[in-house]
Amino acid sequence: MWGGRYAQGPAAIMEAINASIGFDRKLYRQDIAASKAHCAMLVQQKIIAAKDGAAIAKGLDVILAEIDGGRFEFSTALEDIHMNVEARLAERIGEAAGRLHTARSRNDQVATDFRLWVRDALDRSEVQLQALQAALIARAEEYADTVMPGFTHLQTAQPVTFGHHLLAYVEMFGRDRSRLADCRQRMNENPLGAAALAGTPYAIDRHMTAKALAFDRPMENSLDAVSDRDFALEFMSAAAICGVHLSRLAEEIVLWCSAPFRFVALSDAFTTGSSIMPQKRNPDAAELVRAKSGRLFGTLMSLLTVMKGLPLTYSKDMQEDKEPTFEAAETLELALAAMTGMVLDLTADAKRMREVAGADYSTATDLADWLVRELGLPFRKAHHVTGKLVSLAAERKVPLTDLPLAQMQQVEPGITKAVFKALTVEASVNARRSYGGTAPANVRSAVGRARKRFLRG
């Protein structure tokens, strides 16, 4: 490739650091699709002959079949996927292959291929996120009535339903999907035809190639077209945020599977044993999902660092954009698959959840609310009265429901025996019917709404 300018070939170390075929071969399908679109446009615009265009298109189809079939020999000496494909095309059809690169550069070629690859990754992640939401929604409906403790500061706070808890993640993953959709919409512009950086003197039709590759439009500015990588950064940012949500759910599964909690169990399909403790069942799948969020954060930081100081337009630094992006996509897809499997696999121990949900005076707020609602106390006073009653029950080491009415009335004379009906965990969750609340009836309604919002259309 450099024969016209350089008398000598590159040093071995230069070849090693410069070559990208070891990883950018992943772009082969996108590279061939973009080349076919470019070729068809060159023929349409009468920039190359129809005969040459037909030979190029046929040759590219053969090369695609060779790569798909594992029969293609990649060469490090040819640096990247673009030159590997072009060299093989020349072997197959001769001089006509050299006409394919008319009115384009490797700069706009790689920018196009990379956008197409990221777009495909976005679409795959969207499908997987929807599948995870579907699993969560199904389990939320199944556990709409199952009471569990709700936590703040990881301390028992108020009773909630397990279905309501699972639906919280449906909302988080819904926002992740919207971020991916926003990213896809913003990045769906065609760089092809920007050439090296300044455009081309050939009478090309960039709208034609944009349509052929399902882009919404050509990119407006040739400098931006070859130097932009914020679409990859945005994808990795969305992946990292999704990784946070996956990690939080994974952490909860780890906690819930532990002996102090015993809220859920995973089958052998998503756990491993110990090499020395035969009783152990370790939630390794959840732990690994939790850990993989760190890889997602790292890939984002890697490319941010590469791009932060680059002047316009293209610099070889940008070759370092693909490996972190590929890793982010692969890591996210694996974590989503593992989490969906765990959600479908887990079984909840409703009895244990109910037991812990009623501990640590979790219905104290219900007592305060009853004092406000039935006796007309200001909430701050009701809060103070409830605090005294909780202290009294704690001293006697009994739950609020076992505190004698007479002792309650010594603190607040207006309390009647009707208060005890408000202090069960079932009464607590059933009372919370405000929109977005945890009541089982709310959960069932929310399940229906979630199916319409996220699983249809």
Which residue type does 110 have?
A: V
Angle at CA 14, nearest 5°, toward 11 and 19? 125
Which structure tokens are listed for 151?
Answer: 């936590």
Q: What is the pLDDT along the chain (457 residues), one digit of tens a residue?
A: 544 555 566 678 887 787 888 989 999 999 999 999 999 999 999 999 999 999 999 999 999 999 999 999 999 989 999 999 999 999 999 999 999 999 999 999 999 999 999 999 999 999 999 999 999 999 999 999 999 999 999 999 999 999 999 999 999 999 999 999 999 999 999 999 999 999 999 999 999 999 999 999 999 999 999 999 999 999 999 999 999 999 999 999 999 999 999 999 999 999 877 666 656 688 999 999 999 999 999 999 999 999 999 999 999 999 999 999 999 999 999 999 999 999 999 999 999 999 999 998 899 999 999 999 999 999 999 999 999 999 999 999 999 999 999 999 999 999 999 999 999 999 999 999 999 999 999 999 999 999 999 998 5
Give the model's pLDDT for residue 6. Answer: 52
> Sign (positive/negative) of CA torsion 234, 235, 240, 244?
positive
Q: Which two tokens stand for residue 7?
A: 């008398």
> Is residue 158 within a helix (H) or strand (E), and if so which, with residue range?
strand 155-161
**Alpha-carbon gap, residue 54 to 93, rounded angstroms:** 10
d(C-alpha 440, C-alpha 145), whole Å: 5
- In angstroms, the CA 450 to CA 138 distance is 10
Report the C-alpha gap between 306 and 201 in whole angstroms.
32
The residue type found at 78 is L
Active site amino acids: 153, 274
pLDDT at 2: 46
pLDDT score at 279:
64
Tokens of residue 90, six digits: 């020349």
Which pTM was predicted? 0.93
